[in-house]
Structures are given as C-alpha cells and as structure tokens.
Amino acid sequence: MMSNNGNFVPKAIPWREFVNLPNLEGKTILELGNKGNKNGLYRDDYLKAGAISYHCTDLNGLDGAIFVDLRSESAAKQIKEATGIESFDIVTNFGMSEHIPVQRTFYQCVHNLGHVGSVFVHWTPRARMFQEHGYHGSIFHAEDNFFDKLIIANNYKAISPPKFAAEVNRIVTCVLQKQEDTPFVWEPGFRELFWYNKLWESSPDAELFKEYIQKQDWFTPIP
C-alpha cells in the first residue's frame, strides 16, 4: 500500500500509523506526545519525510518535548508561545488523547493549533477495548461515534473517515481537516462518549502524575 509520502519507509513510525499521515513535504508538525520506540523517534521520520519543522509536547519533558498540561484551557497558547508558531500544518494524536484526564481541553487544543487547511490525525483506543493499555496510563477510550459527532460539530472534512484498525480493531483512527476559522465546539453530550478504563489506576503513571490529577473532576480543566 502506497502512503501519501510516496515510497518513503519510516524507521520508527509503524506503517499502520504512517499511512494515515498526509504528505509531509514542507509541513510544520506538532506531535502531541513525544513518540518513539526501539527503532528511534517519530521525529526523525517526520523530518526525513520532508517536514520543515517538528515540535512535540509531553509531561516527561524528554527529547525536547514542551512541558504543558493538556488539561489546561491555555494549552494551545502555551504551545504557541513555546514554539513561536501560531498554527501547525499537521497535528498528530497517535495514542496521546487517552492519557489526558480532560478530553474537551485536549481536542480544543488540537483545534486551536490549526489553521484552515490544517490536518489533524487521531489514533486512539476504542471504548471497552484495548483495556490492558490502562496499565500504561490509558484513562479514556472513545466510543465509536465520537469522531463522527466531533466532525459534524466542528465542520471538519474527513480526509480519512473514522475506521477501526490494529489488532482485532481495538483502535479508532481518522484524518480530519479544519475547514473554518471558527471557535471549537464541544457539545454537552460529548463527555458521555468516553469509557473510563479503571486499569489506569494501577499504572505507573497514576503514581508519577498524581500531583497533576489527584482528586480532579475528570472533565474539569485547570487554569
């Protein structure tokens, strides 16, 4: 299967994720979560595939990641100030959103970091599936209709409509494009479109980040 990036073969980014990316040539990229594996950092693949700039965020602060709490209403503003970039051509969520206690601020951040034409790539666990991911800090898994409703609410173009992937369809993935420079819309019922993975409470992250999330309402953002 040919990707949008021609014959380029990534070293670190799994092919199942790489084929969801738009053409990277000349693009600015923001990766939510500094992704990497035994084969290297996703960053290196993005740049080798033609991206002109790369930034990432993560509370671990590794590999040059911007330290920002994505529960914050001001997360996008903090990222803009840290990078000096007002908006990015591509924002990726490859397995990051499920680790954030406040889902609304996460998707609001993505929206606010894009311009008209920006592409948002999402890849996240489905509700009641991939439960063992909770041991790695996976808190919220999306119901199958969440992205369909998000697309309608914010008039995104579905370049690649929501579909199921990876090991008996445990993941929902999609590629969306921002079509309007309008405020982010989060419908009141969206909070019910996420399943809480209780196994998260046994993860190392629960202890590591307890000062950030202890006694918090899961859907209440911080300043």
Of 88 and 222, more confident: 88
Work out the pLDDT band at 2, boundaries 50, 70, 90: low
Yes or no: say if 169 and 163 are a contact pair by the CB < 8 Å rule: no
Yes or no: say if 70 and 32 are a contact pair by the CB < 8 Å rule: yes
pTM here is 0.92
In degrees and rounded to multiples of 5, residue 74 shows phi and psi of: -100, 15
Residue 214 has pLDDT above 60, yes or no: no
* pLDDT for 10: 92
Which residue is associated with the tokens 């173009």?
Answer: 157
Task: Supply the mean pLDDT for the chain.
Answer: 90
Work out the pLDDT band at 158, boundaries 50, 70, 90: very high
What tens digit of pLDDT does each residue of 3-34 get? Answer: 788 788 999 999 988 988 999 999 999 999 98
What tens digit of pLDDT does each residue of 167-210 get? Answer: 789 999 999 999 999 999 999 899 899 999 989 888 887 776 66
Yes or no: say if 24 and 92 are a contact pair by the CB < 8 Å rule: no
Work out the pLDDT band at 81, boundaries 50, 70, 90: very high
